[in-house]
């Protein structure tokens, strides 16, 4: 599949998130469209964690593959219908060299007032170890700080998740207290992280953002 935004212009016109694309080095991040769902489903059937029994495993991952796919597709459609200035979540599919390898989410509540985004991400196991996790987070932060006007970016990871901690620190996040996981089905402690435009460690490659139209800005409260 091409990493270019291969959507009919009228689709992005009626639902502006479909026009958004962020490119950084080998990676392209864009909102997952219906045409991407078969590839997305195949991705969800592949291993993401070395140890599926680890407490670091996402609650939604701890089901059989077909239930995981069905739940994920319903989740995608639900997020689209709920997106608006008061609350929004955009799951950005991540493509490397035209191949989908994971997902980088960015979300916010009352963004116009709080100027704060949250994020979460995952990569298939065979995409680990190539620097993609760091670069896709940096690309999301460029979108948030430079193009949307965010002043804070928050993230969290289960205690002991050294790879996730490492990505956060490499992007300029600092520790920001702890919390219990808010994900359904998990009662585990998490480390919170915070990044600001001042702490952000920028990527070594240029980041290009396209499709951030006035209509999309209005939908996001930006």
For 145-204, how does the pLDDT look when each residue is reduced to its tens digit (9 = 90+)? 999 999 999 998 888 788 888 899 999 999 988 888 766 656 788 889 999 999 999 999
Structural contact between residues 136 and 124, judged by C-beta atoms closer than 8 angstroms:
no
CA distance 60 to 186: 10
Q: Describe the crossing of helices 162-170 and 132-142 by its angle, rounded to 10 degrees.
A: 40
Residue whose C-alpha is closest to residue 20's, from 5, 8, 35, 6: 5
Round to whole Å and give the CA distance between 202 and 195: 12
145 alpha-carbon distance from chain centroid = 15
pLDDT at 49: 60
Give percent of the chain above pLDDT 70.
86
End-to-end CA distance of the chain: 31
**Interhelix angle for 37-44 vs 65-82, to 10°?**
140
Question: Per-residue confidence at 50, pLDDT binned at 50, 70, 90?
Answer: low
Q: Which CATH superfamily is domain 9-220 in?
A: Gcn5-related N-acetyltransferase (GNAT) (3.40.630.30)
3-state secondary structure of 200: coil
pLDDT (tens digit, 9 = 90+) per residue, 92-123? 999 999 999 999 999 999 999 999 999 988 88
Q: Give the pLDDT band (50/70/90) at residue 10.
A: confident
Percent of the chain with pLDDT over 90: 58
How far is it, in rounded angstroms, from Cα 76 to Cα 7?
A: 17
How many Cβ atoms are within 10 Å of 13's Cβ, its own excluded?
Answer: 12
pLDDT over threshold 70, residue 217: yes
Q: Among residues 81, 84, 171, 52, which one has the least CA distance to residue 121?
A: 171
Q: Supply the DSSP symbol for 57.
A: S
Residues 6 or more apart whose CB falls under 8 angstroms from that of 214 comprise: none
Spatial contact of 149 and 161, defined as CB atoms under 8 Å apart: no
């Amino acid at each position: 599949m091409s990493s270019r935004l291969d959507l009919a212009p009228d689709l992005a016109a009626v639902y502006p998130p479909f026009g958004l694309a962020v490119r950084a080095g080998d990676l392209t991040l864009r909102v997952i469209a219906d045409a991407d769902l078969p590839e997305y489903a195949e991705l969800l059937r592949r291993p993401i964690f070395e140890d599926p029994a680890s407490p670091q495993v996402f609650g939604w991952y701890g089901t059989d593959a077909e239930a995981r796919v069905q739940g994920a597709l319903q989740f995608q459609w639900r997020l689209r219908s709920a997106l608006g200035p008061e609350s929004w979540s955009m799951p950005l599919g991540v493509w490397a060299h035209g191949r989908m390898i994971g997902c980088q989410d960015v979300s916010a509540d009352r963004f116009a007032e709080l100027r704060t985004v949250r994020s979460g991400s995952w990569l298939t196991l065979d995409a680990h170890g190539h620097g993609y996790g760091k670069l896709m987070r940096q690309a999301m932060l460029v979108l948030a700080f430079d193009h949307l006007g965010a002043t804070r970016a928050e993230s969290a990871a289960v205690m002991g998740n050294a790879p996730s901690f490492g990505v956060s620190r490499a992007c300029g996040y600092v520790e920001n207290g702890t919390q219990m996981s808010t994900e359904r089905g998990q009662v585990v402690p998490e480390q919170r992280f915070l990044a600001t435009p001042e702490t952000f460690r920028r990527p070594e490659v240029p980041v290009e953002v396209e499709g951030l139209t006035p209509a999309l800005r209005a939908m996001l409260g930006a």
